[in-house]
Structure 1
Amino acid sequence: YNITDSSQTTGSGDILTLRVNSSTMSDYPGFEIPPYPSYERKPLYADTAFEFMFENGEHGHGRWNMANSTPPETLVDKDIQSGFNGEAQKIIKKKAIELLK
């Protein structure tokens, strides 16, 4: 959840830019106690974990994938396409009325 701390939204003209990255995440060092005999401890880097979850909706990966969900990237796209469920249009209409008065 701490990836939300890295999120930034900027706007210029009719362009809205949303940015989020793995900079506030930590690398996962791997299991201290081997989960199976041939286990070789390797880290899972934050940027890889971010890609698995944010872009693919994976909560884990491969044999360790506990669940899949709708990727946040897809949810953000849906919000933008819907105008944030009509909220963006309300703000635009209110501002247009203010400007025209």
Structure 2
Amino acid sequence: MLYDRGLAKGYGDGIYGAADIGSARDYATFLLRAMGYSEEAGDFKWETAADTAADMGFLAGTSPFLRGDVAEMTLRALLTENAAFAAKLGIILEKV
């Protein structure tokens, strides 16, 4: 489902990396995509996703990156003023 929605893309060639340890950059990428931003559109780059998240005010801890950081980043992202994200979130919640 996350892959189908373009939120999680893996490494390519059918390799997902589900057993890998996640990082702040990985989760920032996931949240930015969920908020409607896209690497393809030039909104951010995977390499600098944590910097983009920090600039937008929702980056929490980076190392070690823990469950509490995931929760805090999620909350901060939800509180970010982003009309496209709010509209998209409403659509996603309706489908769930």
TM tier, smaller: under 0.3
TM, length-normalised to structure 1: 0.22
**TM-score w.r.t. structure 2 length?**
0.23
Q: Which has the higher contact order (CA 8 A, sep 6+)?
A: 2
Query: Which protein is richer in strand relative to its size?
Result: 1
- Which of the pair has more CA radius of gyration? 1
